[in-house]
Amino acid sequence: MAATDSDPAVTTSTCAHCHREIPSSNIALHSVHCARNLQKCEHCGDMVPRKLMDEHYDENHAPVNCSLCKRSVERELWDLHTGIQCPQRMLACQYCEFELPAIDLFEHQDVCGNRTEYCQICRKYIRLREWIGHELQFHTNSNAATELSSDRTMLEEERAPVAAAEHPVRPTAHASHRTQLLLTIAITGIAVIIGSILYQKKG
Ligand SMILES: [Zn+2]
Ligand SMILES: [Zn+2]
Ligand SMILES: [Zn+2]
Ligand SMILES: [Zn+2]
Ligand SMILES: [Zn+2]
């Protein structure tokens, strides 16, 4: 297998075993060695040196140990496992969005979905598991309108006090600025006067 592809002018032949280009002068010898040393991987079809086959298998095809559920998972099924099969994968509760292992989720959601929330429109308590159905059934059309109008009243309620509050705030802020400025001028003036009095006394 040594001294193969050094000179580009050398004519080559394709090895029937590994399908690589081998200098024609070496092809006979190579074929023997190749057949003896390289092995076709039964999992991916790659030509792998026989002595590296275990390594190749471990790196590419060996089952993976899931750190969450401690199970050994076929490499081909790994994505499926982490995505939808691992019982310890973390999922969010559809009602409270708390994350917990998939295996505990069913039981948790059973309890969590039994909690109730007060429907302002119907004035009664609705189970969380029935909430979406309730909204669809009773409030799909009217709900949009109610939401809009409640938004509007909220905005108006908010806008009015803010507008009212903004006006008294500004003059106060201005006034305090002005007072501060006047105070500074006054203090400076007094300091100058005191200074000049002291100066005159000394003189
Ligand atoms: Zn070969
Ligand atoms: Zn392979
Ligand atoms: Zn797992
Ligand atoms: Zn929950
Ligand atoms: Zn309702």
Find the ligand nearest to 114 CA. Answer: 4
Give me ligand 2 centre to Cα 36, in Å. 18
87: helix, coil or strand?
A: coil
Spatial CA neighbour of 22 closest among 51, 2, 39: 2
Separation between Cα atoms, residue 11 and residue 78, nearest integer Å: 45
Q: Where are the domains of the chain?
A: 12-49, 64-112, 113-151
pLDDT in tens, 110-160: 999 999 999 999 999 999 999 999 999 999 875 454 554 444 444 444 444
Cut 0.85: pTM above it? no
Spatial CA neighbour of 25 closest among 8, 13, 37: 13
What pLDDT sits at residue 162?
A: 41
Separation between Cα atoms, residue 158 and residue 152, nearest integer Å: 10
pLDDT in tens, 57-103: 998 899 999 999 999 999 889 999 999 999 999 999 999 999 999 99
Do the bridges between strand 38-40 and strand 47-49 make them parallel or antiparallel, or are there none, so unpaired?
Answer: antiparallel
119: helix, coil or strand?
A: strand
Spatial CA neighbour of 58 closest among 70, 41, 71: 41
What pLDDT sits at residue 18?
A: 86
Find the ligand nearest to 77 CA. Answer: 3
How many CB atoms sit inside 10 A of residue 21's CB? 15
Phi and psi at 45, nearest 5°, equal 85, 0
Average pLDDT of span 21-35: 91
CATH assignment of 64-112, given 3.40.980.10, 3.40.640.10, 3.30.40.10, 3.30.420.40? 3.30.40.10
Separation between Cα atoms, residue 15 and residue 92, nearest integer Å: 55
Give me ligand 2 centre to Cα 175, in Å. 82
What pLDDT sits at residue 171?
A: 41
> How many residues can be counted in the chain?
203
Residues of the chain with pLDDT > 90, as a percent, come to 50
Separation between Cα atoms, residue 183 and residue 189, nearest integer Å: 10
What pLDDT sits at residue 200?
A: 64
Whether residue 161 has pLDDT greater than 50: no
Find the ligand nearest to 37 CA. Answer: 1
| Contact between residue 22 and residue 13 where contact means Cβ atoms under 8 Å apart | yes
Average pLDDT, the chain: 78
